[in-house]
């Protein structure tokens, strides 16, 4: 008979945090697959507990729900892995599983005994705030540990591949390049998760002194709320069997946000809020991201038909983004001047919101690629897509790939009636290539923009900051990013 | 869902086509303006209006039909606005009224702002 778990909510949360830290102290590349498989359960359990905890402070209506955002990112990662990408099915990670169990047990306790708890006194509010901080910190460290384990795994694969090529081992016996790429992509997505939660952790440090201590949280700006709402809705729509028209809309809005980020960055540099040289380095990357999203939008537009409809909730979120970007950064003749922008919004806060959106954009780009690569039911009107497929086949032929020579992509009848047909392989590969370029652009922009962002987790996305990870016990457990003298990423 | 007669459905489908064509033309302008083109805001606005118009109708309603004539997004928006005014004679449903006011704003933007 299992022993009865008599731990309190506080003890369960402390144990979860401690288990998450252990994942960093005992890192192993071999554990990465199991950690990826289990991570979704941790987030799910955390989100359920988060939902039943009373608020530490009265919730503001416009406050973006970070946990919802995190859950969507985790769902996106789970959708990728369940679509047959690495790591595929297999064993789970005991520590992460225990964390999920602890969080579920804590939720049961709160549901059963927490009904009477009213956050009326400072002590009670402090307890609740501490519990929330613990949950987020656990997710932060667990995501970081998983990301580092994946990076280790990727390095092992690449090293093994190098050895196998040198020894001329048969291709079938070498590690798959696809596995390595899929693992790399996942490590970036875990990095995105880590950055999103890192903001909360930076504002709510988990230290003995701070636990139980209430800190005033600055109210979210309108732009912050709208961009968070957009990110949540984009994930939600894209993970629920989207229409090509949804992908066009997501891509166009992301392009608009990239432009607005460039405009606001310029204004912030002009006003001395951010380093001018850094802003000048970032803006070309933002422009490239805008172009990449636009190009992807055009590709998806080729797959739409007159019958395509956009998810009404996505339309609403897009409309809010447009209105807020217009109110922040435009005037009747075009983009607003730096002085106008500075007069309308709190520039540091706006830069923060836009930077955070840049980070989550990386994940949206990955989800977009997954849809392009794995959705078997993609279709398109015959005329346009036959031309596109032929164009891609000719590019492939120029590169020495003759696999498509002499093939046709639609029958005369399909073209005459512009019938909707399954997406031909060369057109799909072209779409995947465009999304790969998009992912690279978004990643470069985030890396270049990291110095604009004071939070420690943002620094971790800088390529230079991703120092080579060494095995076991060399990893600093991220605790209180705010307490560091200079902004610096968790040690890897 | 609001109950439409056949003529109303045809009219809304026509509005969708007008707005989609206006959006297409605006995106050509926006994309030609480079990565920081402020035309994007206008084009996104028309996209949103077209999506809202399409979502007024049940999915079974076919939206294909002749491509509206004209190369000027402002003129196409003006035509859509006129058709909407014809639909919104007496106590229109809130979503239709919202669409009408959105399209009117876009017509104003097209004729007065950077897109004029």
What is the DSSP secondary-structure string of A289-308? Answer: HHHHHHHHHHHHHTT--TT-
Q: Are residues A120 and A97 in the same domain?
A: yes
Interface check for B61 against chain A (CB to CB < 8 A): the answer is no
Q: Are residues A190 and A247 in the same domain?
A: no
pLDDT digits (tens, 9 = 90+) for A354-364: 988 999 999 99
Q: Which of B48, B112, B114 sits opposite A319 (nearest CB)?
A: B48
In order of A4, A11, A95, A100, A111, the CA distances from A7 in angstroms are: 9, 6, 17, 15, 15
Higher-confidence position of A43 and A21: A43
Q: Are residues A255 and A336 in the same domain?
A: yes
SS3 state at A33:
helix
Q: Are residues A258 and A320 in the same domain?
A: yes
User: Scanning every residue of chain B, which has its alpha carbon at the shortest distance from the alpha carbon of A261?
Assistant: B36
Domain count of the fold of chain B: 1
Q: Which of B30, B41, B67 to mutate to test the interface with A (most CBs of A within 10 A)?
A: B41
Residue A478 confidence (pLDDT): 42
Radius of gyration of chain A (CA): 24
In order of A284, A288, A357, A444, A447, the CA distances from A281 in angstroms are: 6, 12, 18, 11, 11
Q: Which of A183, A218, A253 is the last residue of a domain?
A: A218
Q: Are residues A250 and A199 in the same domain?
A: no
Domain range for B56: 6-112
Q: How confident is the model at residue B30 (pLDDT cuts 50, 70, 90)?
A: very high
Interface check for B43 against chain A (CB to CB < 8 A): the answer is yes
Interface check for A318 against chain B (CB to CB < 8 A): the answer is yes
Domain range for A304: 222-378+423-456
Percent of chain A with pLDDT over 70: 85
Domain count of the fold of chain A: 2
Q: Are residues A45 and A137 in the same domain?
A: yes
Residues of A in contact with B51 (CB under 8 A): 245, 249, 309-310, 312, 315, 318
Q: How confident is the model at residue A477 (pLDDT cuts 50, 70, 90)?
A: very low
Q: Which of A307, A310, A335 sits opposite B38 (nearest CB)?
A: A335
Q: Which of B31, B38, B44 sits opposite A318 (nearest CB)?
A: B44
Interface check for B51 against chain A (CB to CB < 8 A): the answer is yes
Please indicate whether, in this complex, the C-beta atoms of B47 and A307 are within 8 angstroms of each other. Answer: no
| B33 lies in some domain | yes
| A154 lies in some domain | yes
Among A77-81, A301-305, A460-464, the range of highest mean pLDDT:
A301-305
Q: Are residues A191 and A49 in the same domain?
A: yes
Q: Which of A298, A315, A326 sits opposite B55 (nearest CB)?
A: A315
Q: Are residues A365 and A327 in the same domain?
A: yes
**ipTM value for the complex:** 0.94
Please indicate whether, in this complex, the C-beta atoms of A259 and B59 are within 8 angstroms of each other. Answer: no
Higher-confidence position of A157 and B20: B20
| Nearest Cα to Cα of residue A454 among A227, A328, A286, A275 | A275
Residues of B in contact with A334 (CB under 8 A): 38, 114
Residue A23 confidence (pLDDT): 84
Interface check for B56 against chain A (CB to CB < 8 A): the answer is no
Higher-confidence position of A457 and A60: A60
SS3 state at A151:
helix
Sequence-distant (6+) residues with CB within 8 A of A207 are A479, A480, A483
Least confident of A3-12, A66-75, A385-394, A478-487: A478-487
Q: Are residues A208 and A311 in the same domain?
A: no
| B1 lies in some domain | no
Please indicate whether, in this complex, the C-beta atoms of A263 and B35 are within 8 angstroms of each other. Answer: no
Residues of B in contact with A246 (CB under 8 A): none
Tokens of A449: 């923009």
SS3 state at A422:
strand
Residue A201 confidence (pLDDT): 84
pLDDT digits (tens, 9 = 90+) for A80-102: 887 777 888 889 999 999 999 99
């Amino acid at each position: 008979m299992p022993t009865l778990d008599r731990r309190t909510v506080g003890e369960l949360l402390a144990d979860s945090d401690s288990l998450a830290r252990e994942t960093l102290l005992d890192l192993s590349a071999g554990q990465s697959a199991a950690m990826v498989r289990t991570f979704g359960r941790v987030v799910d359990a955390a989100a359920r507990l988060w939902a039943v905890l009373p608020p530490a402070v009265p919730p503001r209506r416009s406050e973006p729900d970070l946990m919802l955002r995190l859950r969507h990112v985790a769902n996106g990662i789970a959708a990728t892995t369940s679509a047959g990408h690495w790591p595929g099915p297999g064993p789970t990670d005991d520590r992460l599983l225990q964390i999920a169990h602890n969080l579920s047990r804590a939720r049961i306790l709160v549901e059963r005994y927490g009904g009477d708890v009213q956050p009326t006194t400072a002590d009670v509010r402090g307890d609740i705030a501490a519990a929330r901080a613990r949950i987020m910190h656990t997710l932060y460290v667990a995501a970081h540990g998983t990301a580092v384990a994946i990076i280790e795994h990727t390095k092992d694969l690449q090293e093994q591949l190098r050895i196998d090529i040198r020894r001329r081992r048969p291709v079938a016996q070498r590690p798959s390049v696809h596995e390595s790429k899929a693992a790399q992509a996942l490590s970036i997505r875990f990095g995105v998760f880590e950055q999103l939660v890192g903001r909360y952790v930076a504002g709510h440090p988990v230290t003995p002194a701070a636990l139980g201590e209430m800190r005033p949280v600055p109210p979210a700006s309108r732009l912050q709320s709208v961009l968070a709402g957009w990110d949540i809705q984009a994930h939600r729509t894209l993970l629920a069997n989207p229409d090509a028209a949804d992908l066009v809309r997501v891509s166009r809005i992301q392009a608009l946000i990239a432009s607005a980020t460039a405009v606001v960055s310029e204004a912030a540099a002009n006003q001395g809020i951010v380093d001018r040289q850094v802003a000048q380095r970032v803006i070309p990357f933002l422009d490239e991201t805008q172009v990449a999203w636009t190009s992807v939008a055009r590709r998806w537009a080729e797959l739409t038909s007159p019958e395509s409809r956009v998810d009404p909730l996505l339309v609403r979120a897009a409309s809010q983004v447009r209105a807020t970007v217009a109110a922040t950064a435009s005037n009747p003749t075009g983009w607003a001047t730096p002085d106008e922008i500075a007069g309308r919004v709190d520039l540091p806060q706006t830069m923060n919101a836009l930077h955070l959106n840049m980070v989550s954009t990386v994940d949206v780009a990955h989800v977009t690629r997954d849809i392009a690569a794995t959705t078997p039911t993609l279709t398109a009107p015959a005329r346009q897509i036959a031309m596109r497929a032929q164009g891609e086949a000719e590019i492939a032929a120029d590169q020495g790939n003759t696999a498509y020579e002499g093939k046709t992509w639609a029958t005369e009848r399909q073209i005459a009636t512009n019938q909707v047909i399954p997406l031909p392989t060369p057109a799909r590969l072209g779409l995947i290539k465009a999304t790969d370029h998009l992912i690279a652009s978004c990643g470069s922009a985030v890396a270049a923009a990291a110095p604009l962002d004071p939070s420690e987790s943002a620094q971790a996305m800088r390529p230079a900051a991703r120092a080579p990870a060494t095995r076991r016990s060399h990893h600093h457990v991220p605790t209180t990013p705010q307490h560091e003298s200079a902004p610096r990423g968790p040690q890897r | 869902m609001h109950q439409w007669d056949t003529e109303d459905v045809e009219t809304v489908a026509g509005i969708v086509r007008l707005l989609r064509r206006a959006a297409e033309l605006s995106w050509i302008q926006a994309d030609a303006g480079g990565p920081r083109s402020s035309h994007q805001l206008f084009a996104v606005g028309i996209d949103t209006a077209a999506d809202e118009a399409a979502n007024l109708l049940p999915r079974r309603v076919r939206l294909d039909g002749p491509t509206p004539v004209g190369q000027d997004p402002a003129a196409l928006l003006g035509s859509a606005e006129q058709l909407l005014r014809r639909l919104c004679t007496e106590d229109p449903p809130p979503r239709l009224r919202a669409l009408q006011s959105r399209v009117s704003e876009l017509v104003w933007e097209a004729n007065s702002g950077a897109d004029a």
